[in-house]
Amino acid sequence: MRNMSSVMQTSQDLLASFRKAYAKDGDVLMDGPVCWEEWLCQPVKILFYYKETYGYSDSVPNLNAIKHADWFSNEYAYWARGNRTIQKILGLAWAIFEQMDGKKVNPEKIRVACDDETMRINTMRRVAHVNIKKVSGRKSASNDAEIARYSRRMDCAELLREQFILCRPDIIICGGTVCWTSAIENFKVFQGIRHGQKPCADVHNGRVLCHFNHVGRQSYDTLNEYSRRVAVAWNRRCSGATAKAI
């Protein structure tokens, strides 16, 4: 395992760099693994890559000052009680872990899992959430062009790549086309993947890159299908298969 103190210091340095880059845009909210200790122990690391932060510091005023993972995890879970998008994201993550462990999953089990606060806390500690845009607000009906500008700004693009390198995820789930494009352009490990149709899961360079739009709006049947696609892609990766969209 990597040295925890070194990882944490790098994470704090990155946060400071993001705050400097976004100084004129607003307050930068922390993202990445909820619990670094749990994240580094995971045999398969799942990272959700989304457009922008929800601005949950409004509900948890001291969130940016929080360093204790248990406190952060539980406060975040409390906030997620009323946020169906977060509940479904964590339900999808739970279903992926279950399927990769060889367990049977169905839409009803995912629905039950989404409503289970203990599951949300436990799953939350195992995954990472990264946003392209680290500040909230000024959101329009469709702000993909604004998010794309952030991902292509030289300072932000370099920092996003540094964050990816620090996290070293095995599975990246992109919550939209602009996130899919950013992952290919910013992370520099998915060259060769074409901008394909969604939903899909591509195996490339030992990782799985997924293109799943608006997880929070999907039915439990769709989440079940998403989790199946990721598990199949991961099994292909483990068997040494070449890149293929699933």
Domain of 95, CATH number, reads 3.40.470
* Any domain includes 244: no
pLDDT < 70: residue spans in the chain: 1, 54-82, 137-142, 194-197, 241-246
pLDDT attached to residue 46: 96
* Any domain includes 197: yes
If you compute the radius of gyration of the chain from its CA atoms, what whole number of angstroms results?
A: 17
pLDDT attached to residue 41: 92
Q: In whole angstroms, what is the distance from residue 1 CA to residue 60 CA? A: 31
> pTM of the entire structure?
0.86
Q: In whole angstroms, what is the distance from residue 197 CA to residue 18 CA? A: 32
* Any domain includes 169: yes
Q: In whole angstroms, what is the distance from residue 229 CA to residue 196 CA? A: 15
* Any domain includes 243: no
* Any domain includes 189: yes
pLDDT attached to residue 139: 53
Domain that holds residue 93: 4-238
Rounded to 5 degrees, φ, ψ at 118 are -65, -40
pLDDT attached to residue 68: 39
pLDDT attached to residue 144: 82
pLDDT attached to residue 195: 60
CB-based contacts of 82: which residues, under 8 Å, 6+ apart? none
Looking at the structure of the chain, the number of domains it has is: 1
